[in-house]
Structure 1
Amino acid sequence: MNQAPIFQLKRNAFGRLIFNDQSGISQEGVVPVRSFPITHPDQGIALVDSHGHELVWIERLTDLPDDYRQLIEAELASREFMPEIKRLCKVSNFITPSTWHVETDRGETSFILKGEEDIRRLANSSLMITDSHGIHFLVRDRLSLDRQSRKLLDHFL
């Protein structure tokens, strides 16, 4: 069973999060920040003020009452956009810049990879690919991709 949190959280008329601590101090425009957005997205979340100062640390989202958890999840979803690549369909060439045609968890898309340095290795076999517009694409497990996708990706790793 969830414990009562030591703070209050609600939205104002403009949709911004308002945080009230135990002493009654109110902060408008708080932002949830994940510590480990890829490996542990529901653990280690800080609520920070507009200056980036931590107001409260949330060990696990499941520890919160449902209404607070839903507010935080909705705020995170509106701020984070990271499609997950499920399949590489085609790559224009094996030198950069190159155009990649991929299937993601949000549908098919294409993007331009400026250089191999825009592919970062994360924990285990995860990758973060940044396109020419700064959009991050996640490959959660490159070893679980289909054979053709792995073959195309290997040219850049």
Structure 2
Amino acid sequence: MNDWRLRKSSQGQLALYKGDTLVADRVMPVLAFPFSAPEESISIVDEYSKEMAWLESFEDLDPESQALVNEYLAVREFRPTVLRITSVSTYSTPSIWTLETDKGLCKFELPSDESIRRLGGQRLVLTHANGMQFIVEDLFALDKRSRQILARFMA
């Protein structure tokens, strides 16, 4: 463990400390590899996106700082997992999809075929027209109908 620490400021923002010295009072943790290695390599950036610290892993922080990072990333890296595709408005884009996710049912707008990307293995990311991302952890774990819908758009 090194001596980088994160604490909440009086305004509720994250503040970065090196030992007892305040380095920046408005920072954000950013995952360097959010899909391939979400537990590794965190950049701490200021409000202007200037990197203030680089951490190889969560273990480089004390437990209180780790909890703050996890709390922050739970909001920033919100990506529901797709369990099933229940319907699609049309087999051309843009199209409206109804998804069953680990967070509940939702409507999703697929703006283009390029909004479906492979992440490696059988993982996919679907990007909504508003930028929100949905994860398919294992394409082959989906039901047959969901796989058929995806195949039509990924061909």
TM-score, normalised via structure 2 length: 0.90
Match of 1:9 among 2, 6, 28: 6
Q: Deviations over 1:9-51 (max 9, x none)?
A: 2101221011122482430111101011112111111111222
In the alignment, does 2:105 pair up with 1:108? yes
After the TM superposition, which parts of structure 1 deviate over 6 Å for at least 4 consecutive aligned residues?
Answer: none
Q: Which letter does structure 1 place at the counterpart of 2:106?
A: T
Give the whole-Å Cα distance in 2 for the aligned partners of 1:66 and 1:108.
34
Q: Which letter does structure 2 place at the counterpart of 1:21?
A: K
State the identity %: 35
Hey, what does 1:70 align to over in structure 2?
67
Hey, what does 1:151 align to over in structure 2?
148
Give the stretch that moved more between structures: 140-149 or 22-31: 22-31
In the alignment, does 2:117 pair up with 1:120? yes
Give the whole-Å Cα distance in 1 for the aligned partners of 2:20 and 2:12.
24
Aligned residues: 154
Give the whole-Å Cα distance in 2 for the aligned partners of 1:90 and 1:25.
51
Computed over aligned residues only, the root mean square deviation of the Cα atoms, in angstroms, reads 1.7
Offset, 1:92? 1.7
Give the whole-Å Cα distance in 2 for the aligned partners of 1:72 and 1:94.
40
Q: Deviations over 1:74-121 (max 9, x none)?
A: 111122221111111111221122111111111011112121121122
Map 1:54-93 onto structure 2 (within 5 A): 54-93=51-90
Give the whole-Å Cα distance in 2 for the aligned partners of 1:72 and 1:151.
38
Structure 2 segments unaligned to the other structure (5+ residues): none
SS of residue paired to 1:122: strand
